Every structure is written in C-alpha cells, then in structure tokens.
Structure 1
Amino acid sequence: MKISTKFRGVLLAPIGVMLIGMSANVQADKVDIGKREYDSACAVCHGLTGKGDDGPLKSLLARPVPNLTVLAKNNKGVFPFDKVFQIIDGRQEVAAHGPRDMPIWGNAFNNQTSLYFDNYPEQDRESAARSRILALTEYVYRLQQ
C-alpha cells in the first residue's frame, strides 16, 4: 500500500515529535558519573573548575593544589591517562610522583558504596572502585584546556 506524499507528513509528524520528546528525556536522565565523583571527592581541594584556585580546603593545605586543566598541556599535548588513574587510585606508590599528599581514593572507593555502582556483588567491590576511578579520570580528561 502506497501512502500519498500529502499524507506522509501528516502521519510522520507525530512520530517525529514523539522521538524528539523521547530523546530529550534520555538526555535529561543522563548522569555524569565522572563529574559527580569529582564534585564529591576532588572539588574541595582542586575547585569546581579543576584549576586549584577555589577549593574550600585550599587554605588548609601545605602545598599549592595542581591545576588539573593543564595536565595535557604540560605533557606535550597528551593527557597522561594512566598516570592520572594511578595517582587517583593511590594504592600503588609511584616514586616519581613524590610524597603522597592526596587521599588514596582507591581504598576509599573500595571501602564505600557508590550510588552509581551499587549493582556489583559484594566480592567484586574492586571492580566498582576501578569503575569510579576510571569515570573520574575521564572527567579530568574533559577538563583539559
């Protein structure tokens, strides 16, 4: 059965409106896990923008907080993803990173539940911790200037 061109638009318009509405709902329901993890774990020192200039705990720290938005710039334009992941995790001491001033988020994430990764079995909390660190590292990547 062929539909005349005149009626195609009439039939397809409501479908298009419905699809646009569904797309808007999907976008509204998206959760930026990396940003949420950053806001709850990192922003108190590094600030909301990652520049280290407006974290509420900044004045209590003995050393200046690194500007996280220039990590790629300071590494010849390449974001040091693995290094950032290791620093956030913190459970493996990396001598080149110097003294450990930052909290060890790998242990913290492994010992606490997450609103976003609560479907992991109890014996696989390590996967949930690594997922949170991965999301956080990816968010720091997105902060790059």
Structure 2
Amino acid sequence: MLWRLITRVFVAAGAGAVPAQVADPDAGRDIFMSYCVQCHGFDAEGAGPMAELLNVVTPDLTVLAKGNGGVFPIADVAMKIDGRTLVLAHGGDMPLFGPFFDIGTDVTIRLPSGQSMMMSQTLADLISYLEALQKQ
C-alpha cells in the first residue's frame, strides 16, 4: 500500500497535480448510486437494502462532519474508502470496490488542515458528493 502512495506522489509531481476544484459532486453521486447505495442507502443514512444483513451497523454518512466538530473529515473518509485505513465491516479494504476507487487520473485535494492529499479522480468525486450531503 505504501509503495502505491509513494508512486502516486512521484507521478503527480512529474505530471503536475490537478487542483482540488476538479472534484465533481454530480459524478460522485453517480458513483455512490452504483457502488455504495446497497449498504448506505439512497439517502446515505445507513439503511440500504443490504444493511440489515451485515453484522455491523452501517454508518450514517450524512453526519460525518457533525461527528468531527463540524468539519468534514476528508482524509479519514478517503483512507477508509481506498483502503489506506482498514474498515472491519468491509473485511479490510473495500471488498469489491477498492480497486475501482484507485483507477484514473490522480488529483490533489486540499484538506481542512491546509495539507494536500493525493487520490484518484473517482475518489475525489465521491468524497465531494459525500461532503455535499452533510447535515448541520
């Protein structure tokens, strides 16, 4: 996993990283509806059709910012989706979708801390959609 991150950094440095504003929440919604809705539900509140079959409570993705002092935890969300942080409910990496979120153009997004983080365009789009869903 670490070698993949290091490779991304060097590739992006050589190619010129794409700025954060390229994230497209509309594309992210399409990704969510294709890959996440079964567990997290159409409204992302954790009541998808597969949720009742899981041994864990499917999280409400609309209150991630609320649970983080009002700041959407971009880095934490990205690392859980792309496998940099293991998610026990997924058996580690996203069991079926992890590789999907790792393909495509790499982009750099700015975190609330001011730091930059590399990720695929697909993941950046999905995260921008999840951020737009946050409840106050």
Please give the range of the TM-score, normalised by the shorter of the 2 chains: 0.5 to 0.7
Alignment-derived partner of residue 50 in structure 1: 44
The 2-side partners of 1:142 and 1:31 are apart by 7
Structure (1 or 2) with the greater strand fraction: 2
Give 5+ residue unaligned stretches, structure 1.
1-29, 111-124
Contact kept? 1:106, 1:130, Cα under 8 Å: no
Q: Please tell me the root mean square deviation across aligned C-alpha atoms, in Å.
A: 2.4
Structure (1 or 2) with the greater helix fraction: 1
1:133 to 117, 123, 132: 123
Contact kept? 2:25, 2:129, Cα under 8 Å: no
1:108 to 100, 113, 134: 100
Q: Which has the higher contact order (CA 8 A, sep 6+)?
A: 2
2:58 to 44, 58, 65: 65
1:84 to 74, 77, 82: 77
1:35 to 11, 29, 39: 29
Looking at CA atoms only, which structure, 1 or 2, has the larger radius of gyration?
1
How many correspondences in the alignment?
97
The 2-side partners of 1:51 and 1:67 are apart by 4
Question: Structure 1 stretch 71-80 or stretch 98-107: which is displaced more?
Answer: 98-107
Encode CA deviations 1:20-67: one digit per residue, 9 max, x unaligned: xxxxxxxxxx992010000001111000111012x1111211111000
The SS at the match of 1:32 is helix
Alignment-derived partner of residue 117 in structure 1: none
The SS at the match of 1:48 is coil
TM-score, normalising length: structure 1:
0.59
Give the residue type in structure 2 aligned to 1:81.
I
Q: Could you tell me the percent identity over the aligned residues?
A: 35
Give the residue type in structure 2 aligned to 1:130.
S
Shift of 1:81: 0.7
- Call closer, same or farther: CA 1:32–1:106 in 2, change over 3 Å: same
